[in-house]
Chain A
Amino acid sequence: MANRFFSREHLIKCLLVVAAFSSLLFLFIIFAFILGEGLPLFYKVGVIKIILGFTWAPTKGFFGIFPMIVSSYMVTLGALIFGAPLALGCATYLSEYASRRMKLFLKPALELLAGIPSVVYGFLGVVYIVPLIREYLGGPGFSILATSAVLGIMILPTIISISFDSLMSVPPTYREASIAMGATKWQTICNVVLPAARSGILASFILGMGRAVGETMAVIMVAGNALRIPMSLLDPLRTLTSNIALELAYAAGDHRSALFSTGVVLLIIIMILNFVANFWVKRKVTG
């Protein structure tokens, strides 16, 4: 009897191990696939000509993706400028001021925001934000400004939930000590709570950036997808992700490989962002 019990326990453990390793396996397959398809072109054309090249005309032999790398960073930064203050304010209110009932109402609402499909954000961007910009600020409307605004809203849930967690993990004794010293609530938040949660908040920004860099559908819809490096906030632009999604359907041969090379660059950028975020979170634990 004891033996049978053991074997059933063992079987379940095995199944869970398989489940755990299968996600690792998928990661490995994705890596192998993208690198296998994308790296040959780096050898053929040259890393510098791809990463620092200014012209993208893959059917004519130009594979420069530098403008897209710059554009990706620009909209990511723009999204942070739009989203970060709002998200931080929301997280601070939730953890420091909100009553239990308020929290019960706000938290599910934010989760709902995270669950809205990106194509819906893109659609709203095209229908409302783009014409607004075209009408009042000029340009075609499809622009960094529109893209940043849409992405800024999209990264709110990511930043809010992670910085909220890190604010909540600041021990209540810190706050009590500060109040006991005669500080006001706002002074306590500014000088004690926020600095204590700093690393978690920074990590939330980085993860928000990761979300913004990786977003595709909404960006295609509002960015205008022009190939030049945008010179003003009202110029259209094309990001790395939208380049892949736009052209994959039609690509063949070197063009196809070039899109996978775009994927390799994107993968490296995302990996760096995740690595930095992890680094900051770890420092919080030890520090």
Chain B
Amino acid sequence: MRSNLATPIALLLFIALICWGTFDLRKSGAGRKDTVTLAGSTSVMPFSEKLAEYFMLSHPRLSVEVQGGGSSAGIQATINRTVDIGMSSRNLKDDEKVHKQILICYDGISIIVHPSNPVRDISLDQIQKVYSGRIRNWRELGWIDRNIDAVSREEGSGTRGAFEELVMGKAFIDDGIMVQDSNGSVKEVVATDPYAIGYISLGIVDQKVKALTIDGVIPSVRNIIQQKYGMVRPFLYLTATEPAGAVKVFIDFVLSRDGQNILRKEGLVPIRG
């Protein structure tokens, strides 16, 4: 009889303990004021981390925490006020309302292939046909008779969103196209597969892959500033309220000459020349 009563009581106590634990965690997380938290686009994340690094050198009393999650998650987190600054690498949709959008820089999207691939140039129309499944063979792009291993990003990714907007128009990305879940993995696949093609942020293109010229235009910071290169998207910081305190100090730093110079060195396009 005694054990019959004791079991549920013990169970209840256990549940109460769990609930209390989670509640307590939440409370202690919100209490710290001198930390600026950022979350969102994985494309913006590495650059925000770089900015945070420099920022914390000159502002030792403030700390900046950068997390990923993707553009959509970043926008959502801004609306829910779970982060101070949301990061987005695409323009916001009509139903996504935040208080303030701060343009921090532009980023080009480049089309990459394996370094051994002799193809140098591709037209916007050809890219669209490759990703909508109407061009499947390298012969049609002036190379050997071999299937194109095209790589895309997953649904919801900011890079994919910008790519669809800039290149695909109304066409859908074909179901047969491979999908990787980060700029890095796309680059890795293209760097190891001689027949692959992919699209990644211009800022992270390096020696392991070759960026194609698009309609004869080299993807470079200069060509983006001169508005010759069209595949460009904005990098945005989002806030739910008017920036104040540490948040304002950080945003001012990002928009300052120093901050913009850091972004330029990382291969992005600053908002003022």
B175 in contact with A252 (CB, 8 Å): no
Q: In the complex, what distance in Å separates the CA atom of A224 from the CA atom of B178?
A: 5
A17 and B7 in contact, given A139-B147, A140-B193, A250-B155 (Cβ under 8 angstroms): yes
- State whether the Cβ of B201 lies closer than 8 Å to any Cβ in chain A: no
Interface flags, A1-29, vs B, CB<8A=1, else 0: 00000000010011101100110010000
Point out the residue from A21, A22, A255 that lies within 8 Å of B155, measured CB to CB: A255
Contacts of B72 in A (CB 8 A): 250-252, 255
Contacts of A247 in B (CB 8 A): 154-156, 181
B178 in contact with A250 (CB, 8 Å): no
**Majority secondary structure of chain B interface residues (helix, strand, loop or mixed):** mixed
Name the CB-closest residue of B to A231. Answer: B176
Contacts of A141 in B (CB 8 A): 193
Contacts of B157 in A (CB 8 A): 250
Q: In the complex, what distance in Å separates the CA atom of A22 from the CA atom of B192?
A: 47
A21 in contact with B11 (CB, 8 Å): yes
A10 in contact with B3 (CB, 8 Å): yes
- State whether the Cβ of A228 lies closer than 8 Å to any Cβ in chain B: yes
Contacts of B3 in A (CB 8 A): 10, 13-14
Q: Which of A78-116 contact B (CB under 8 A)?
A: none
Name the CB-closest residue of A to B149. Answer: A140
Interface flags, A109-148, vs B, CB<8A=1, else 0: 0000000000000000010001100100011111000000
Q: In the complex, what distance in Å separates the CA atom of A220 from the CA atom of B15?
A: 36
Contacts of A55 in B (CB 8 A): 175
Q: In the complex, what distance in Å separates the CA atom of A220 from the CA atom of B178?
A: 11
- State whether the Cβ of A67 lies closer than 8 Å to any Cβ in chain B: yes
Interface flags, B53-75, vs A, CB<8A=1, else 0: 00000000000000011111101
A17 in contact with B10 (CB, 8 Å): yes
B176 in contact with A255 (CB, 8 Å): no
- State whether the Cβ of B177 lies closer than 8 Å to any Cβ in chain A: yes
Contacts of A58 in B (CB 8 A): 155-156
Contacts of A236 in B (CB 8 A): 176, 178
Minimum distance in angstroms from A41 CB to a CB of chain B: 15
Q: Which of A130-181 contact B (CB under 8 A)?
A: 130-131, 134, 138-142
Minimum distance in angstroms from A94 CB to a CB of chain B: 38
Minimum distance in angstroms from A85 CB to a CB of chain B: 30
- State whether the Cβ of A59 lies closer than 8 Å to any Cβ in chain B: yes
In this complex, how many residues of chain B approach chain A with their Cβ under 8 Å: the count is 37
Of A10, A58, A134, A227, most buried by chain B (CB within 10 Å of CB) is A227
Contacts of A138 in B (CB 8 A): 147
- State whether the Cβ of B76 lies closer than 8 Å to any Cβ in chain A: yes
- State whether the Cβ of B265 lies closer than 8 Å to any Cβ in chain A: no
Minimum distance in angstroms from B11 CB to a CB of chain A: 6
Write 30 A-B pairs (CB below 8 A) sorted by A numbering: A10-B2, A14-B6, A14-B7, A17-B7, A18-B14, A21-B11, A25-B15, A56-B155, A59-B156, A60-B172, A130-B192, A141-B193, A142-B178, A142-B189, A225-B180, A225-B181, A226-B176, A226-B178, A226-B179, A227-B177, A235-B176, A238-B179, A246-B154, A247-B155, A250-B154, A251-B156, A252-B73, A252-B76, A252-B156, A255-B156
Across the A-B interface, give the 5 residue pairs with the lowest CB-CB distance, nearest first: A250-B156, A250-B70, A140-B149, A225-B179, A228-B175
Please report B residues at the A interface, Cβ cutoff 8 Å. 2-3, 6-7, 10-11, 14-15, 42, 68-73, 75-76, 147, 149, 154-157, 172, 174-181, 189, 192-193, 195-196
Please report A residues at the B interface, Cβ cutoff 8 Å. 10, 13-15, 17-18, 21-22, 25, 55-60, 67, 126, 130-131, 134, 138-142, 220, 224-228, 235-236, 238, 245-247, 249-252, 255
Q: A140-B178, A224-B178, A249-B181 are in contact. List 19 more A-B contacts (CB 8 A).
A: A14-B3, A15-B10, A18-B7, A18-B11, A22-B14, A67-B175, A130-B192, A134-B193, A140-B149, A220-B181, A226-B176, A227-B176, A228-B175, A249-B42, A250-B155, A251-B72, A251-B73, A252-B72, A252-B73
